[in-house]
Structure 1
């Protein structure tokens, strides 16, 4: 649970004062940092302005961490101690308008300045010559990947990312009551887990009242259901399955139930004419459909008594 506690403490987007202080005192005259993803390379100077711009870019990546349309899957940070004049000139080019208030602030990011991370701000990989890779981060949609990135740089967590991170945690570890008890940002899917949470509470109380019993009072089965429910929500709402973005890769629990117990839905024409409904996954072609009378002739035996032939009387 300590992992979730760390995430909740960062939800309010409070600046990490310790990291901000380090940022302002660790600058060197020539060093340049390169942040590399599949989209390209962005360069930042090792100055308070450059480090705040770098953290703003990392926040940009964190905000889109669970976006199915995102491109980056890997993040690398390089140090270039002796950059060429060309490389040094490309540093901090993402800052379009710098606010002096940001320089005076102890915040670790640029809050009032205008920054832009569009494709024209990226440099080619040739600028990495002579650089040393100091850190590597996996950006695939996994709980631990997200937690490591946001914790390492003291990044903020949006409400949407909080929901996804919580669902990922539940899908791996089971439901934790502290998810619903969070006061900073309510868990958006608390209602879906409410009934299950009540049953888990009853199970845990039963276990506490019978400490010598080897029976788990259904706890393991309930947690398995919670994991499956979270996995289904991740796929249906965010297209995440097993730490990967997959469109339509998983059939939800509701769909599985409907397939095992098909429900009949009447067509609009049949509602008007009073015809028999068809199941939602089976339809006949128009030329193959038969009238009710034809179905009766084909499948039901006639109950009309056969006419007896009249025998001719021979005199």
Structure 2
């Protein structure tokens, strides 16, 4: 006998589930649910729109788990995260549904997280780390790493991100006073003699940082085998594990620059052997050694020469941030532009009519120092992400008399957003793209503005209206009262999503409590300084 039980599509059920959970779960939890659903979409591919609740069986979860492990084989916690969060949102969906399901599709899959063994050091291990004899056996970069480790130990477990951004201005009256990067809580640490010794060891007049070497550009050289260039990370790990390449091998970026600028073009290569060979030859050649020293002196003097430095200033409604003309400075300027693009529709730009980029030279030492300090506003990893809470915005007065080299209209509109991406060659982000589409739908009520692709995550919210408006009867009633009512329904749906799922300027829900909070507590996106008054 044919099974007459109606199958339930999973996609619209999950959409209704997420809508129902708003207000009951935190935004972070809802974002985790979205991430797990997107991972399932990636796994299912073109079959996502046809996937049903009944398809989620033990066999399906086995295949999903195998697929996750093949994509995140070295990260079991990531596999566990996607399994655990999808199981949770799937359970909520079943609870919302009028019918249950047969079987337990997630049974047998461990989703309780993994707990590593306790990682406290034994007394003998701590004594070995403190032994002067250990330091004498280590190369330079490992001695630096040891000092950072000991600094963290004596500083009561200061996290590395805070160590990276620690400056001498934070050290006063034999105390280190700083704001914890993760929580913003003020921390006060007494400077014990061991801490003082480490800080003196690395103190440099030309750097504001306690550990200047953490901010130096270094190149770690590795040669990938032919045909294996897409597996550099695993290749590096494999070579080091086999002992074929010392893990502490590195060259300073400035030394590599010297080699490339002075070596004969017909001999020059990018190989590690060539670079190391040229530097060794330099050490044994008096003239070449003097040239290398002069090369370093030139760059050190250029760093101190504020009169010939070109600064980049980026101005928004929040104020001005400065960036120097080093490679790191330019990378951070680009990252800050990407941050503004990713938050194009955010209320942080409620006072931003235009974003301006300026280039100017100055002999103002305080401005040059501010540009150098921009590094503390970005994460120290390769992604170099902007940290709004650490931003110190300058007043617009410093740009008086200057004209922007580039200017972008920051009106909250999808077309303006795409113009900004094109102007600065930035990456498109899913969130502002979705907000821009929803904004157009809200303004026009015209579903022709809605793209039918996976990048628009709210397609299911409009699928019913889309089907009705494309009905042979309704399609001819566009200019009637019925057509106007349907467009209003589209607009209202888009507005509801914008107000409840996003933080968009122009769509804020101003309840009395929200209004009182905004009047009492300013937005935490950095602070302004008095420079420029």
State how far apart, in whole Å, the 1-side matches of 2:447 and 2:337 are.
30
Q: Which residue of 2 aligns with 1:182?
A: 453
State how far apart, in whole Å, the 2-side matches of 1:54 and 1:45 are.
9
**Deviation larger for 146-155 or 53-62:** 146-155
1:40 aligns with 2:319: yes
> What is the correspondence of 1:101-140 to structure 2 with a 5 Å cutoff?
111-113=382-384, 116-119=387-390, 121-139=392-410
> What is the correspondence of 1:204-219 to structure 2 with a 5 Å cutoff?
none
State how far apart, in whole Å, the 2-side matches of 1:150 and 1:114 are.
17
1:90 aligns with 2:364: no
Number of residue pairs aligned between Structure 1 and Structure 2:
202
**Residue 69 to residue 43, structure 1, CA distance change in 2 (3 Å):** closer
Mind listing any 5+ residue stretches in structure 2 that lack a counterpart? 1-307, 512-533
Q: Does structure 2 retain, via aligned residues, the 8 Å contact 1:42–1:123?
A: yes
- Per the normalisation by structure 2, the TM-score is 0.32
Q: Which residue of 1 aligns with 2:355?
A: 76
**Residue 81 to residue 223, structure 1, CA distance change in 2 (3 Å):** same
Q: Which residue of 2 aligns with 1:6?
A: none
1:222 aligns with 2:502: no
* Deviation (angstroms), 1:69: 6.0
* Deviation (angstroms), 1:170: 1.4
SS of residue in 2 equivalent to 1:34: strand
State how far apart, in whole Å, the 2-side matches of 1:153 and 1:235 are.
29
**Residue 123 to residue 178, structure 1, CA distance change in 2 (3 Å):** closer
1:247 aligns with 2:509: yes
State how far apart, in whole Å, the 2-side matches of 1:160 and 1:114 are.
17
State how far apart, in whole Å, the 1-side matches of 2:432 and 2:483 are.
28
Q: Does structure 1 retain, via aligned residues, the 8 Å contact 2:441–2:490?
A: yes
Question: Which of 62, 66, 70 is residue 341 of structure 2 equivalent to?
Answer: 62
Calculate the aligned-residue CA RMSD, in Å. 4.0
Whose Rg is larger? Answer: 1
- Per the normalisation by structure 1, the TM-score is 0.50
Q: Does structure 2 retain, via aligned residues, the 8 Å contact 1:78–1:134?
A: yes
1:198 aligns with 2:478: no
SS of residue in 2 equivalent to 1:66: coil
Mind listing any 5+ residue stretches in structure 1 that lack a counterpart? 1-28, 103-109, 208-212, 250-315
State how far apart, in whole Å, the 1-side matches of 2:488 and 2:337 are.
35
Question: Which of 326, 332, 349 is residue 53 of structure 1 equivalent to?
Answer: 332
State how far apart, in whole Å, the 1-side matches of 2:479 and 2:400 are.
62
State how far apart, in whole Å, the 2-side matches of 1:136 and 1:197 are.
38
Q: Does structure 1 retain, via aligned residues, the 8 Å contact 2:346–2:503?
A: no
State how far apart, in whole Å, the 1-side matches of 2:478 and 2:457 are.
35
Q: Which residue of 2 aligns with 1:169?
A: 440
* Deviation (angstroms), 1:200: 2.6
Q: Which residue of 2 aligns with 1:3?
A: none
**Residue 158 to residue 112, structure 1, CA distance change in 2 (3 Å):** closer
Q: Deviations over 1:91-126 (max 9, x none)?
A: 253224999xx9xxxxxxx94446545455433434
Q: Does structure 2 retain, via aligned residues, the 8 Å contact 1:94–1:116?
A: no
